Amino acid sequence: MKGFFRKNSGTLPLLALILCLFQFFASFAVYFSGKTDVRAVLAALGSLVPAFAGREKGEAREGIGGGTVLDMVISESDAIAALVEEEASLEAASFQAGVLEPESFSKPRLLLYDTYTVRKGDTIGNLAAAFGLNIDTLISVNDVKSTRLLQIGLRLKVPNQDGIFYTVKKGDTLETIAEEYKTAPQAIQIVNELFSDTVKAGAALFIPGGLLDPVNLQEINGDLFSWPIRGYITSPYGYRRSPFTGIRQFHSGLDIGSPQGTPIRAAMSGRVSAAGWDNVLGNYVVITHHSGYRTLYGHMSVIRVKPGAYVGTGDRIGDVGSTGLSTGPHLHFTVYKNGVTVNPRVLMK
């Protein structure tokens, strides 16, 4: 054995260099499979070491186990090349076009219903998922005003397809309605069993695939406004006895108790339309929002915005106080929709 190493002391480093070069090029080829030809790498390796590139398997010096160094190099290269070819085939297959769904799956069909009775723990979201429908569909078909107030025992209509109801307005045509909801006029005709393309104002049409207006959906789900302060409700929206006169009267907003100086933040983005003093509300701010909404914030100790300023949701507009007609530090928060007060609680996240 010692004689072998002395006799081949000049070739052993060369063999080690060959194997290291092969390991490097082979790893590089596998990493960039499909972009590097492994056999080309081996050919290049052979040109670097002519002594091995020109030998046949039988001419190579035998190694331990009956094989040869060249046999090992060639067999490993074949395995790597096969792996590269297999991965290239899989990559090519992934870009092949799939099979089109049957035309009958996407054809418009007559609107039909099942029914379901609401049970304890049910939510519109869970029911929509169970029936394979979107939330907009169940809300529209059943004229749900607030998903938070879904009553046990309520019988829901469950349609056989997604869509919403639309009330035809004066001047509407099937074409304009279809364009608005990105569907085909023929689909609306088939679903609603219309025998002409004429529609009458006031008629309710089911729009296949239609979705509710995002703001309307937020209203119904009760996540339109953020809470303006951290605190607790001391007086809800609706009728109550006045803390000053004892007479039953309507309370137009929420009273939210919180320590003096607590930051008051805009419940939704908008433009400050008024800010000043009122004998009842004390220091107050009014913000005008989209879709006909306004919010009012009363009894502030400090006003931190001016009329005309734009504010984002969560921006600080003032501090909690007890100015005006007040029994202690709190925020009076009112929401108007098209000039009429609504219960803020059902619109707040």
Q: Which helix (H) or strand (E) holds 250?
A: strand 248-251
CA distances from 348 to 256, 262, 269, 282, 315 (A): 13, 19, 14, 24, 16
Q: Is the pTM of this model over 0.85?
A: no
Of 241 and 54, more confident: 241
Confidence of residue 260 (pLDDT cuts 50, 70, 90): very high
Please state which of the ranges 63-72, 115-124, 191-200, 300-309 shows the lowest mean pLDDT. 63-72
Q: Name, of 53-57, 75-79, 126-130, the range with top average pLDDT.
A: 126-130
**Architecture per CATH, 106-221:** Roll (3.10)
Which sequence spans correspond to the domains of the chain? 2-94, 106-221, 232-347
Tell me: pLDDT of 149 over 80: yes
Of 4 and 15, more confident: 15
Determine the pLDDT at residue 82. 64
Please state which of the ranges 104-118, 124-138, 171-185 shows the lowest mean pLDDT. 104-118
Q: Name, of 38-42, 54-58, 93-97, 180-184, the range with top average pLDDT.
A: 180-184
Tell me: pLDDT of 148 over 50: yes
Confidence of residue 108 (pLDDT cuts 50, 70, 90): confident
CA distances from 278 to 137, 261, 282, 342 (A): 45, 19, 5, 21
pLDDT tens column, 20-56: 565 665 555 545 444 445 455 445 445 444 444 444 4
Of 4 and 248, more confident: 248
pLDDT tens column, 267-302: 999 999 999 999 999 999 999 999 899 999 999 999
User: Do 289 and 268 touch, CB atoms closer than 8 A?
Assistant: yes
Determine the pLDDT at residue 64. 42
Tell me: pLDDT of 345 over 80: yes
DSSP string, 205-243: EEEET----HHHHHHHHT-SB--SSS-EEEE-SEEEE-T
Radius of gyration in angstroms for the set of CA atoms belonging to the chain, rounded to a whole number: 38
CATH class held by domain 232-347: mainly beta
